[in-house]
Amino acid sequence: MGIQNILFIILFAGATGFFVRNMRRVRRNILLGKELDRTDRPAERWKTMILVALGQRKMLSRPIPAILHLFVYVGFVLINIEVVEMLIDGVAGTHRFLAFLGPFYNFLIAFFEILAFLVTFGCVVFLLRRNAIRLKRFVSKDLDGWPRTDANLILCSEILLMSALFLMNAADQTLQHRGVGHFIQAGSFPVSGFIAPLLSGLSDVSLFAIERGCWWFHILGILGFLNYLVISKHFHILLAFPNVYYSNLEAKGKFTNLSSVTNEVKAMMDPAFVPAAVNPDVPLRFGAKEVTDLSWKQLLDAYTCTECGRCTSACPANQTGKLLSPRKIMMDTRDRLTEYGKNIDQNGTFQDDGKSLLDYITPEELWACTSCNACVQECPVNIDPLSIIIDMRRYLVMEQSAAPAGLNLMSTNVENNGAPWQFSPADRLNWAQEK
């Protein structure tokens, strides 16, 4: 085992350890949410996950990005088989460890190169859509700053990683043809074969330096990408599958009831009713003011958001110029949850910082929502921004009495007149009287 193998093992162990630590923090943050049972109907959940997360079914509503995303998605998954070979080579000091597969190995490498080309093509088109064509959902102000930079950085990184793979294979192929050292005849290179002639004038030493440099760039880029995911919108690569599995399987128009309110009503209707015991250390709250008032599934939704903007582009309130953006609702929830988690990391337990989720999401945004469920329908990974909006509205109404004037008037009429209109029940049928 040489010094390069030892260095690789140290870097690989460090990157893996760092990733595990960050994932544990994310898990801790998600579990700050309230308990929610999503273990029912397992067969239906598996079917939903296979169709939506694995099969990309909801992406098909927009065919062009669906095809491009399929290139990137399939390429990302399958090219990792070659990454596994690179990891083995890095640890064991071998070169093209899987070459013993013979003709099948040639097929694999050729297939991976074609996939890598499609990934590169998809990323280039996605960059153009964001920065040259400038589609409306990618230039809205809720993406200003880091979110827009994050998206471009990821796309550029993927293009560089694929380019390094092609250049590595081109140098490898040239060294194979020259019969240099351990560069045995292995693999088929339909894409990098076009690059290899450009390297034919270089010395063996230069080719070896290019091959090794690209190998290190690619594998370290993969390890860096793995840890970057945790702070990126591309976290959905890992979280989309569990998020879709734990989707809400009820009808989209069905709202949940607050157990605290249900218990109060049951107690009034039945004096013998005894509500379940509650934790006296947790203050009773109607609705959601802070991220810890949301369920763990809602917090998982926030981490899974891809920031694709399909929800916002389908939102009728946003289309009419209202402040509401369902994408921003999810991004703000994730930002506040991240801030909340950092507070715990710094202090051991959460110390009041004078903020809450309502400092990120304004009442104007919440009341602009028509609760039509368009955002829920459009999301390719079954995120539910509406559930967060409804829970925050409940807090504003039931604890802050901060509902819009029109809604307060309607509630008063229902309470006094048994109907939303400001007429006495005795006058309700006056419209039917003949004149």
Among the ranges given (195-199, 265-269, 376-380), the one the predictor scored with the smallest mean pLDDT: 265-269
d(CA 135, CA 144): 14
In one letter, which amino acid is 3?
A: I
- If you search the block for the tokens 């919108």, which residue do you land on? 233
Count the helix, strand and coil residues of the chain and give each as a percent rounded to the nearest 5.
70, 0, 30
The percent of residues in the chain predicted with pLDDT above 70, rounded, is: 97
Predicted confidence band at 22 (pLDDT cuts at 50, 70, 90)?
Answer: very high
The pLDDT tens digits for 168-185 are: 999 988 888 888 877 888
Task: Give the mean pLDDT of the chain.
Answer: 89
Dump the DSSP string for 101-163: GTHHHHHHHHHHHHHHHHHHHHHHHHHHHHHTS--HHHHSGGGTTHHHHHHHHHHHHHHHHHH
The pLDDT tens digits for 417-433 are: 888 888 888 887 887 88
State pTM to two decimals: 0.88
The pLDDT tens digits for 291-329 are: 999 999 999 999 999 999 999 999 999 999 999 999 999
User: Cα dihedral angle (187, 174, 182, 83), rounded to 10 degrees?
Assistant: -50
Predicted confidence band at 435 (pLDDT cuts at 50, 70, 90)?
Answer: low
d(CA 16, CA 12): 6
pLDDT of the residue at 285: 80
pLDDT of the residue at 341: 95
Mean pLDDT confidence for 81-89: 84
Q: Higher-confidence residue: 23 or 257? A: 23
d(CA 99, CA 104): 9
CA distance between the termini of the chain = 102
Predicted confidence band at 160 (pLDDT cuts at 50, 70, 90)?
Answer: very high
